[in-house]
Structure 1
């Protein structure tokens, strides 16, 4: 904060000095001969120079006091180590502020003019703008197949779906599953692949036809970055510097990271010592976390920047592409951003305008994008209609709420047009009519073909209250919604909208997330991960009971027992033992995953999990043998009804658990 005060003091001092010189020069100037009046259609430059600047969009003093109070409240309540903020109007910064610490050993305060925060997926907006400029210049076609712009080894294979077009990369609608574990972040510079190698080695599967749904995809943006680099014949990091960062005067903004001198993508010496540490809140304090390397997927998320540079960026956005009298983004190209979004998952859902989210606040719409790494949470919101923009970033793992909510608070405080109309009262019959929406849903932004499906699946539950509200529970948090029109709901708190999807038969099939970047489908019986876990536990208990029963019967005479029935029992004993071993291996893997925390993002799958899932294969095969061996058991005359029932019940539990495990990709080759 001290640095911010010094920054503004210098600006005020410079303004006063310029004003004093101007007054002195005017007093000393000799009298001038009167000139004829200029024609009415000729601009009077002297008068224009003396005209007062237009009023600011917001009173800076009130803004400063309000933001200080809001942020300090969030920091105390949530335990956030550091925050950086930029608020601008069309004339430039209204507020540049840093709060808290950027490092603790040794201590370093957040400086809005120097401290670098990792902005995560806000990085994508620069990639989008570079693509938009090429599209406007005719060098890139929205409706051309992506393969037209890729080298031979990176071209997307024919996987039975129509080709991916450039527009699909800009709208997250290419149809990719979403994977992340072990490759999205790197823990050391030497682990950071080149963009080319990443795209080649970590290509996710396409699981739906392009243009079906917008489902957020980091891979799509990395692929778009490769397209841009090849079209321009310039490395991506250098391309962003040449076309965006340098023209906008953003010297401390970069896609580069401290990768070492041997890597052409490495940041130069001027960035050294400026990065904020990332923090984890634990035990009432903060743990400093290692640098998160994202160079391998740079176009999707590797940017580091400070509040001062991001203020320059925001000022360009709220001035519709202009900054300091220069047209950074051609006017026609910027008009595309403010036009109808390229894609929406539903008519009332948040749409994608060349990658930017087009979110509605009252009567106005934003151009915005959020971003997160493991420890940083950021948000960029520009509203050209209001000439107002906000950037906020936090450096702590629990800072997401502040980043998400501050821009909305400022818009609704200072701009009546950004406030939603009063909420309608819940319809009286909605408590019963709304039951068509109730149930469990599973997000499409997840892995489909690998075991990550279980670890990264996003589930949501929709319910209806007795007083006619809809409740949405996801990610451990619940929110309330009120019906605005058929299949569209407004949030009780905030401007969000929830749009449900309906099939041709009129049945509700899913909903679009309030952000517009994911679709949640109704979950079937096999889509419930809690049922999977319950069945594995039940299978383990059943296995324990089977082995215990076998031990208790070990001295009983088996005279007259058919050999086939004995084999059926022995196969069940062997299968039960295998299930017990599997349960132990899965428990060890689960403990390692929980204790490892964020390590799973850097190193996956790990030996315990690998052993468990490869062991699952013989367990499933043994279970299949037990199913085949049911017939001799049922025919055994020496077995009583209850023994046959117990035997059949055990096999049924093993079989059902195996089916669920197969459904959730719990086999070794699907890691």
Structure 2
């Protein structure tokens, strides 16, 4: 989500476990640009060692390249806690997550260069087994849209998308057709990160080339660069699988192995493996425009889309950012238990790749941005950020309000993440400025330097309000959209809290009241009245049970991802219980009307029953808003 993305640009992250070994390369400078890199070994090892200990991450590997060669290669901590096996940057495999998108983009661009694919043609022209819905007639999705995350797809439906056995992975075409998200925005109008979009590129590569995606990438992307310990195939080749690190998430203060190993969208990053040394080879090739990368690869590091001309934008696969004021390219990769970041500074021929096999307390492994900034601060010039001069007579009241990520799902269960995420608030200040809460931190002041354009004084950070009311932020792969009064999670959380409190009370009150009636020898209620009480108790149990399961699942982000991907029993139980509250609400409404018209129970009893009905209806409404109900849960 958006706050996870922008948090990467904030303070240096933390992580834990001892340094096991560093393998420094021979070079200590960039011969091509003349940038001195003296002391790089101690800078990197000190930073990573401190981060491992502080954040409780088992292991990591780092590569730095400059001038067309590896100038640093280091392994830290352990690849597997139980085996106490040290991380080897040459051999230890890490799941690289979305960094796989670079391989996918490169494969597609090769086919473009060969005239097999067209950047601006309707992708349906190459989809034989299924078609992308024509939600915006005359505005088809193109390969260019997919490569720049501007196709307009809703966020992905992840339920049942992975497992621990490669045999569980369904056919590529079947999966792509079955989980096609709705198109919720016209293509080409705004950037919103899409895993489905890159999975679709992978399928286009397979469909257009006539070669399975994994084999095409192996033969045309990896092999030419000598990336022999990298694979997008599943199950993994034995030589790679046997040296794969174990990913970990922290639960109750302990590092627990993450069980998820496979998913059915490898082209987007779910499952592929590489080593730190292989990713160094990739960085060298990208920085040097190596012809072995194939035709069209040079377009990956050129601006292809931006929300505003004053902001960094998207390349093909890569994302534009600034590091210490220097233009750079970034690609992150996250998979439950694994987190990596990669940076290129083309002007200086420098690249950095860092990957870790643990979520750590931060949930994101080791903060690679912090290390990149330290390298830039020590070895590169320090340009001064532009002066934030306020626009005379500016007013920002039109921008006030609450905002949420454009990546918030509209139609899948993944929308439930928004329930646990704090929306971003914008407040206007005197002089036309604004203060934001939730972008990097709370209380950050911005100066309006041009109509709708704001800069954070003393920094390179910039945000722009679009004519459609969205906020574009430098370095982000999604925009912020206004949150309407009925979309705000705070009232929804209040309703859930009230519903759970009422349900918990009723779970005790309903059987206790029945017991008291029996002991006092009071007349037995009618069969219908007893059914009404049983329905109320069942609805309350469903409400409490679904909330308990949801909180337990969401407590550890990586484990929540695993539960989604594997369609775990607790997840399905939670969804079934939440779904039961919908028909229960209808039944309770009928029973409530009957109770008042027929005089069931005492007035206090009828009021209590009405409260249960209202609470169940409130919970069911929230569950429906967040797509927690229905047979398909999508």
Q: Is the TM value for this pair above 0.5?
A: yes
> What's 2:373 paired with?
408
Instruction: Tell me if the contact between 1:585 and 1:611 (Cα under 8 Å) persists in the aligned partners.
Output: no
Instruction: Tell me if the contact between 1:589 and 1:612 (Cα under 8 Å) persists in the aligned partners.
Output: no
Determine the C-alpha separation between the residues in 2 that align with 1:540 and 1:401.
Answer: 37
> What's 2:8 paired with?
none
Q: Based on CA coordinates, which of the two structures has the bigger radius of gyration?
A: 1
> What's 2:479 paired with?
519
| TM-fit CA distance, 1:629 | 7.1
Aligned with 2:489 (options 503, 516, 529): 529
> What's 1:619 paired with?
584
The equivalences for 1:341-356 within 5 A come to 341=304, 343-356=305-318
Instruction: Tell me if the contact between 1:443 and 1:459 (Cα under 8 Å) persists in the aligned partners.
Output: no
Determine the C-alpha separation between the residues in 1 that align with 2:273 and 2:170.
Answer: 19
Moved more, 617-626 or 209-218: 617-626
| TM-fit CA distance, 1:455 | 3.7
Q: Give the gaps of 5 or more residues in structure 2.
A: 1-18
Q: Give the gaps of 5 or more residues in structure 1.
A: 13-51, 260-265, 504-508, 559-565
The equivalences for 1:556-635 within 5 A come to 576-577=536-537, 579-590=539-550, 592-594=552-554, 597-598=559-560, 599-604=562-567, 606=569, 607-622=572-587, 624-625=589-590
Change (3 A) 1:187 1:350: farther
| 2:354 counterpart of 1:392 | yes
Change (3 A) 1:306 1:539: closer
Change (3 A) 1:254 1:157: same
| TM-fit CA distance, 1:421 | 1.0
| TM-fit CA distance, 1:435 | 5.6
Q: Deviations over 1:550-588 (max 9, x none)?
A: 8799799x9xxxxxxx99999986775454233233244
The equivalences for 1:329-368 within 5 A come to 329-330=294-295, 333-334=296-297, 336-341=299-304, 343-361=305-323, 364-368=326-330
| 2:240 counterpart of 1:271 | yes
Determine the C-alpha separation between the residues in 2 that align with 1:492 and 1:285.
Answer: 41
Change (3 A) 1:192 1:495: farther
| 2:417 counterpart of 1:452 | no
| TM-fit CA distance, 1:540 | 4.9
Instruction: Tell me if the contact between 1:540 and 1:583 (Cα under 8 Å) persists in the aligned partners.
Output: yes
Aligned residue pair count: 596
| TM-fit CA distance, 1:630 | 11
Instruction: Tell me if the contact between 1:124 and 1:301 (Cα under 8 Å) persists in the aligned partners.
Output: no
Determine the C-alpha separation between the residues in 1 that align with 2:252 and 2:292.
Answer: 50
Secondary structure of 1:535's counterpart equals helix
Secondary structure of 1:156's counterpart equals coil
Q: Deviations over 1:585-622 (max 9, x none)?
A: 32443355257834413332634214313312222313
| TM-fit CA distance, 1:387 | 1.6
> What's 1:37 paired with?
none
Secondary structure of 1:470's counterpart equals strand
Secondary structure of 1:121's counterpart equals helix
Moved more, 246-255 or 343-352: 343-352
| 2:93 counterpart of 1:113 | no
Aligned with 1:98 (options 75, 79, 90): 75
Secondary structure of 2:407's counterpart equals coil
Determine the C-alpha separation between the residues in 2 that align with 1:394 and 1:53.
Answer: 26
> What's 2:269 paired with?
300
The one of the two structures with greater contact order (alpha-carbon pairs below 8 A, sep at least 6) is 2
Q: CA RMSD in A?
A: 4.2
| TM-fit CA distance, 1:160 | 5.6
Secondary structure of 2:541's counterpart equals helix
| TM-fit CA distance, 1:222 | 0.9
The equivalences for 1:153-168 within 5 A come to 153-159=129-135, 162-168=139-145
| 2:457 counterpart of 1:480 | no
| TM-fit CA distance, 1:225 | 0.6
| 2:385 counterpart of 1:421 | yes
> What's 1:63 paired with?
40
Determine the C-alpha separation between the residues in 1 that align with 2:609 and 2:244.
Answer: 63
| 2:196 counterpart of 1:219 | yes
Change (3 A) 1:618 1:488: same
Change (3 A) 1:253 1:495: farther
| TM-fit CA distance, 1:649 | 7.5
| TM-fit CA distance, 1:121 | 0.4
Instruction: Tell me if the contact between 2:150 and 2:190 (Cα under 8 Å) persists in the aligned partners.
Output: yes
Q: Deviations over 1:244-268 (max 9, x none)?
A: 22221222222124x2xxxxxx42x
TM-score, scaled relative to structure 1? 0.76
Change (3 A) 1:313 1:578: same
Secondary structure of 1:61's counterpart equals coil
